[in-house]
Amino acid sequence: MTTLSIIPFFISALSTLSSINLVSAVEDHSNSIKDEKDVKLASLNLIYDFDSKPFNISYSDWTANWWKWTYSIPWGKNPSYDDTGKYCNQNQAGPVWFLTLSFEHPVIRTCEIPQNTALLITLLNSVFIC
């Protein structure tokens, strides 16, 4: 398992993790590189091209799957309302895990993710129509 601490940041991409410690896109909350291993990670290209089809599924379909995933989980166990990361594994399966920002306020979460799992992290969690 790879431990991932999530600090809110805006990225919408699929990234693949191996056995590394990734902290908020290689940076801690003070925006400083944590150690030499993280510097090596920062130099790797871990993001799929937007026009690619990771695991033979388009980004738009992965994004649709993310919305289905987040709204399929009851409020009490929904990772979007979880301040700690304890529910990050809810309804996760396959080569891609979905991560979420908070619907309510900034949070710091820790999540154990299987090795060699791609991550889909959304730019927006909510849509408000006025």
Q: What share of the chain is helix, strand, coil (3-state, %, to 5)?
A: 20, 20, 55
Give yes or no for a contact between 115 and 20, defined as CB atoms under 8 angstroms apart.
no
What's the order of all strands across the beta sheet hosting 96-99? Answer: 13-16, 118-121, 96-99
pLDDT in tens, 90-104: 999 999 999 888 877
Q: Which residue has the tokens 């304890």?
A: 86
- As a whole number of angstroms, the distance between CA 32 and CA 39 comes to 10
What is the pTM assigned to this prediction? 0.63
- As a whole number of angstroms, the distance between CA 43 and CA 123 comes to 23
pLDDT in tens, 49-91: 878 888 999 988 988 899 899 899 999 999 988 889 999 999 9
pLDDT in tens, 6-58: 333 333 445 544 433 333 333 333 344 455 555 555 555 677 887 888 899 99
